[in-house]
């Protein structure tokens, strides 16, 4: 095996990210362990991310592979990487303004964020199970640290530890699954695994065990019920920008890798696995939505909503898994992830606006009177919430529409009906903040310091959420063409 210049060119986005990530900490060291101004750090970080996006757009999409078929740069890599890096950029803006992340150690934080972004790029491009594992771990390890680094002293530490322990446990299960698959197939290269799936899934218990473990590992990462229990605690305890990062970028790339493994008919051979995933999807939707109804803490509510959205996305993943033409279902999933990223990032960004110090806890009732005080921001949050609920003409509606269309096209009508019924349930809690903002009097307070970076992120995502749906047709076709 030799590494050529072509390989290096293909991974140039990751190299770019790495180089950008070490700039701030190097400067810090050179200055004698004194932080440079956070805005300089932010610009370096954002610059690295955008340069990586440009490189990614250039090098990927062709389906070229690097490092002896370990990484592939096809449509999924291109668009999922794009979503993940944009979400990372948005989260960086939030981190810059948030009291629990900015200031002290901001350069280290940017380093970690970009490092986890490298892990994400590896994860979305990996076609070898071991590479998937490496990507997953690179991403997660940086995240554990990021959460633990919060200036808030209690909940964030608890969250980091919980996430770390449970995450490692899930990684172990995942690796265990890989070992079994390797034992039965003799390779960890995903196309080979898929090729042998149809014969092994009925004949080999070992393979069955391996693939089940693998899927369960993913279920943990994307918080599918009953592996979701960490989600509310971690999302609540982590600094809000990190929560935004986890619920958008991390979820998007985990689903991308999930898609790669499930895609192209690996579910067709096994009725049991297929049934299992269907039930997991339904239960996830129900538990997420019903759980969210009971929450008063805004971040916790969004955490449960994120669980519910994993359920919807799992429907899309299953659709991809059973269809002959994987690009249709996969495009639905990617579009939904893009929509979900925009609206979730926006919603969390509005939460950060109100965090005066790192200790602040935002309850839904605290939003009372927000519409009077900040009509524009309240309108943006309303848009995000309506979009999360899937009310037209927001982008969230189009996301659900495409994904459920794909599901119905594959005959999964019952799953689609569960999905839409759950959207109705979800309306109840998504409307609550709107009720409180617009229909109750109260003295909501925003953080006194300037929040222009966050506001920019909010307004950009709000505009996209409101109007992206109308031009979603061409976008959908573009992505679909890139995938097929």
Partner 1 sequence: MLLSTIVFLPILFSAILILWPKESTLRPLALGLSLVEFLVSLVLIHRFDMTSASLQMVEKYPWIERFGITYFLGVDGISLWLVLLTNFLTAIIVLGSWKSIETRVKGFHVALFVLQTAMLGTFLAMDAVFFYLFWELSLVPMYFMIGIWGGPRRIYATVKFFIYTMLGSVLMLVAIIYMMFLTQEAFGEMSASILDFYRLDIPFVGGQFFSLQTLLFFAFALAFAIKVPVFPFHTWLPDAHVEAPTPGSVILAGVMLKMGTYGFIRWTIPMFPEAAEYWAWLFLLVGAIGIVYGALVAMVQPDIKKLVAYSSVSHMGYVLIGLFAFNQFGLTGGLYQMLNHGISTGALFLMVGMIYERTHSREISKYGGLASVLPLFTIFFFIVTLSSIAVPLTNGFVGEFLILLGTFKAEPAFAYVAVTGVVLGAVYMLWMFKRVFFGEKGELVKDEHHPLLDLSLREIMVMVPLVVMIFWMGIFPNQFLDYSKASVDHLIQDRGNYMLSIQNPKSDKINASIQGENK
- Beta carbons of 59 and 13 less than 8 angstroms apart: yes
DSSP 3-state percent helix, strand, coil across the chain (nearest 5): 80, 0, 20
Binders of partner 1 among 375-394, rule CB under 8 A? 386, 391-393
What element of type H or E holds 87?
Answer: helix 75-97
Q: Do you find a cis peptide bond into 10, omega within 30 degrees of 0?
A: no
Quick check: 409 binds partner 1 (CB under 8 A)?
A: yes
Q: 70 or 386, CB closer to partner 1?
A: 386
Residue whose C-alpha is closest to residue 53's, from 278, 244, 249:
249
With a CB cutoff of 8 Å and minimum separation 6, the contacts of 100 are: 150, 151, 152, 156, 239, 240, 355, 357, 358
Quick check: 206 binds partner 1 (CB under 8 A)?
A: no
> Binding segment for partner 1 among 34-42, 319-327, 419-427, 443-451 (CB under 8 A)?
419-427
Quick check: 463 binds partner 1 (CB under 8 A)?
A: no
Quick check: 483 binds partner 1 (CB under 8 A)?
A: no
Q: 168 or 405, CB closer to partner 1?
A: 405
Quick check: 431 binds partner 1 (CB under 8 A)?
A: yes
CB of 429 to partner 1, least distance (A): 10
Q: 279 or 470, CB closer to partner 1?
A: 470
Binders of partner 1 among 36-55, rule CB under 8 A? none
Quick check: 165 binds partner 1 (CB under 8 A)?
A: no
- Between helix 75-97 and helix 106-125 the angle, nearest 10°, is 170
> Binding segment for partner 1 among 137-145, 185-193, 415-423, 449-457 (CB under 8 A)?
415-423
Would you tell me how many other CB atoms lie within 10 Å of the CB of residue 206? 15
> Binding segment for partner 1 among 1-9, 231-239, 432-440, 446-454 (CB under 8 A)?
432-440
Q: 298 or 418, CB closer to partner 1?
A: 418
Burial (CB count within 10 angstroms: exposed 0-12, middle 13-18, buried 19+), residue 12: middle
In angstroms, how far is CA 148 from the centroid of its own chain? Answer: 19
* Torsion angles phi and psi, residue 277, rounded to 5: -65, -40
Quick check: 416 binds partner 1 (CB under 8 A)?
A: yes
Binding positions for partner 1, rule: CB under 8 A:
386, 391-393, 397, 401, 404-405, 408-409, 413, 416-417, 420-421, 423-424, 427-428, 431, 435, 438-439, 472-473, 476-477, 480
């Amino acid at each position: 095996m030799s590494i050529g210049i072509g390989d290096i060119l293909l991974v140039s986005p990751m190299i770019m990210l790495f180089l950008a990530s070490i700039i701030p900490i190097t400067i810090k060291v050179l200055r004698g362990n004194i932080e440079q101004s956070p805005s300089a750090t932010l610009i370096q970080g954002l610059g690295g991310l955008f340069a990586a996006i440009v490189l990614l757009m250039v090098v990927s999409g062709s389906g070229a592979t690097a490092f002896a078929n370990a990484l592939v740069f096809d449509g999924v890599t291109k668009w999922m990487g794009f979503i993940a890096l944009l979400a990372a950029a948005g989260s960086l803006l939030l981190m810059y303004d948030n009291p629990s992340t900015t200031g002290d150690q901001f350069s280290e934080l940017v380093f970690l964020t970009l490092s986890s972004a490298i892990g994400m790029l590896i994860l979305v491009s990996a076609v070898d199970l071991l590479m998937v594992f490496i990507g997953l771990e690179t991403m997660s390890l940086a995240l554990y640290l990021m959460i633990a680094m919060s200036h808030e002293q209690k909940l964030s530490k608890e969250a980091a530890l919980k996430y770390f322990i449970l995450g490692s446990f899930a990684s172990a299960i995942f690796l265990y699954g890989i070992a079994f698959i390797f034992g039965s197939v003799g390779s960890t290269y995903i196309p080979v695994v898929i090729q042998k799936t149809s014969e092994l899934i009925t004949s080999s218990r070992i393979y069955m065990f391996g693939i089940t473990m693998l899927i369960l590992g993913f279920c943990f990462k994307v918080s599918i019920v009953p592996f979701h229990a960490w989600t509310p605690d971690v999302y609540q305890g982590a600094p809000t920008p990190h929560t935004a990062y986890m619920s958008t970028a991390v979820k998007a790339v985990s689903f991308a890798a999930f898609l790669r493994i499930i895609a192209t008919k690996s579910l067709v051979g096994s009725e049991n696995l297929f049934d299992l995933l269907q039930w997991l999807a339904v239960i996830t939707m129900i538990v997420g939505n019903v759980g969210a109804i009971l929450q008063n803490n805004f971040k916790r509510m969004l955490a449960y909503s994120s669980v519910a959205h994993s359920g919807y996305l799992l429907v899309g993943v299953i659709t991809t898994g059973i269809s002959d033409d994987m690009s249709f279902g996969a495009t639905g999933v990617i579009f939904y992830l893009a929509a979900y990223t925009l609206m979730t990032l926006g919603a969390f960004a509005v939460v950060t606006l109100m965090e005066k110090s790192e200790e602040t806890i935002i309850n839904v009732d605290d939003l009372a009177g927000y519409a009077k005080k900040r009509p524009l921001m309240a309108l943006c949050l309303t848009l995000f919430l309506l979009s999360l609920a899937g009310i037209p003409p927001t982008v969230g509606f189009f996301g659900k529409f495409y994904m459920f269309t794909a599901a119905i096209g594959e005959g999964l009508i019952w799953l689609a009906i569960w999905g839409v019924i759950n959207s109705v349930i979800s309306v109840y809690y998504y409307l609550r903040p709107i009720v409180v903002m617009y229909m109750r009097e109260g003295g909501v307070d925003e953080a006194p310091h300037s929040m222009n970076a966050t506001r920019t992120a909010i307004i950009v995502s709000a505009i996209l959420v409101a109007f992206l749906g109308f031009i979603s047709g061409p976008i959908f076709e573009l992505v679909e063409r890139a995938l097929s």
